[in-house]
Structure 1
Amino acid sequence: MANQGVIRPATPADYPALYRICLETADAGSDARALYSDPDYPGQRFAVPYARFAPDFAFVLERDGEVQGYVVATPDTRAFEAQLQAEWWPQLQEKYRDRSASAPLDSKVLDAIRHPDQAADTLVTQWPAHLHINLLPSAQKGGWGRRMIEHELAALRAAGVSGVHLGVSLQNEQVCAFYARLGFTPILRSNAIYMGQLL
């Protein structure tokens, strides 16, 4: 029974779990609690805005009554960037206006909030959607990662999306083999390893 679980749509009640899982996997898949002075920092960038602004593409893995993973996506990266520019980053810029970095990775998130970057044109031309997935170590066996990606790809296909990309941390390159088995191919390598799949 330990492997019983359900992939279901994320709700606002799941936001605390999204923040927690994002933090506990934010160091190239490992626990990053020691690397951020505020436990919400990684989730403010990589998890919760997706659940809030693209809820049709935000799913969680619930096992034994606990959310142990998530996969989030936006079907249109450019439209999503514009929406965050209008409705998400300004709130956080105000909230963290007087914050300065005090832990090793704080500046990465604070800089991204203050000066949001945009995906490369190369990525969004053929692969307009993008996704993020994170699973706690307890959920990383048993095929859950594959099932969650497949669940997300099906949702994107059903919405008529033509292609999706994702980024892999340069420190986490070994996970590229997992994505390759799911049909993703390398696109470019810069601040991360980007892989894409046409849908």
Structure 2
Amino acid sequence: MLVRLSALPDREAALAALEDIFFLSTLRKDFASAAERADFFRTWTGWYVERAPDDVWFALDGDGAILGYLTGCKDSAGAVDLARIIPKYEVFADRFAAFPAHLHVNVRPSYRDRGIGRALVDAYAEDCRADGLPGVHLVTAVFARNVDFYQRAGFIDATQRGPLLFLGRHLR
């Protein structure tokens, strides 16, 4: 089952699960302090939770356990404050008109390769399409393990700049 953060009855439990999945998924594991770890998490998730809770989606199993999440922003160009938070946010700003929405998705490692991430991406893409958006994008590293996943999910419009890879999915 896919549910938006704004529709979940226990927001705090959902955000705790999001944090758990985030740190299971990130390549960065070492932090000088608990504060540095919290700042890192806030950099990559805080804006979405605070400013776009309807674009934060969760995949739940039949018992309500959270298996994965997606954070999104439907107006990448208009999220000026997000550009000040996320490193290198504006590297692909020239692509935002064709692909105005963006996303980040993570699934618990033990539940990967079961279609959960794809279901989250497809639900968000359909929501963006229903809002009239022409496309959605993400930015990853050129040699990241997730590139094949995103390409299979329809993110085939690619632009590389240095070690970064922009992947766009047309919605019309």
TM-score w.r.t. length of structure 2: 0.80
- Greater relative CO (CA pairs within 8 A, separation 6+): 1
Cα 1:10–1:36 change in 2 (3 A) is farther
Aligned to 2:146, what secondary structure does the other structure show?
Answer: helix
Contact 1:47 1:132 in 2 (8 A): no
Partner of 1:47: 45
Q: Is 1:56 matched with 2:28?
A: no
Aligned to 1:131, what secondary structure does the other structure show?
Answer: strand
Which structure has the bigger radius of gyration? Answer: 1
Contact 2:92 2:166 in 1 (8 A): no
Percent of aligned pairs with the same amino acid: 24
TM-score w.r.t. length of structure 1: 0.70
Query: 1-side partners of 2:58 and 2:32: how far apart?
Result: 23
Query: 1-side partners of 2:49 and 2:56: how far apart?
Result: 5
Partner of 1:66: 65
* Corresponding letter in the other structure for 2:41: G
Query: 2-side partners of 1:141 and 1:129: how far apart?
Result: 25
Query: 2-side partners of 1:75 and 1:176: how far apart?
Result: 21
Please, what is the CA RMSD of the aligned residues?
Answer: 2.4
Aligned to 1:79, what secondary structure does the other structure show?
Answer: coil
Structure 2: gaps spanning 5 or more residues: none
Deviation (angstroms), 1:120: 2.4
Aligned length, in residue pairs = 162
Kindly provide the CA deviation profile for residues 129-179 of structure 1, in whole angstroms up to 9, marking residues without a partner as x.
11100111022131111111101101111111111110123451x422221
Alignment of 1:1-199 (within 5 A): 6-11=1-6, 12-13=11-12, 14-27=14-27, 32-35=28-31, 37-38=33-34, 39-63=37-61, 64-82=63-81, 112=87, 117-172=89-144, 174-185=145-156, 186-199=158-171
Runs of 4+ displaced beyond 6 Å: none
Deviation (angstroms), 1:83: 6.4
Contact 1:50 1:58 in 2 (8 A): yes
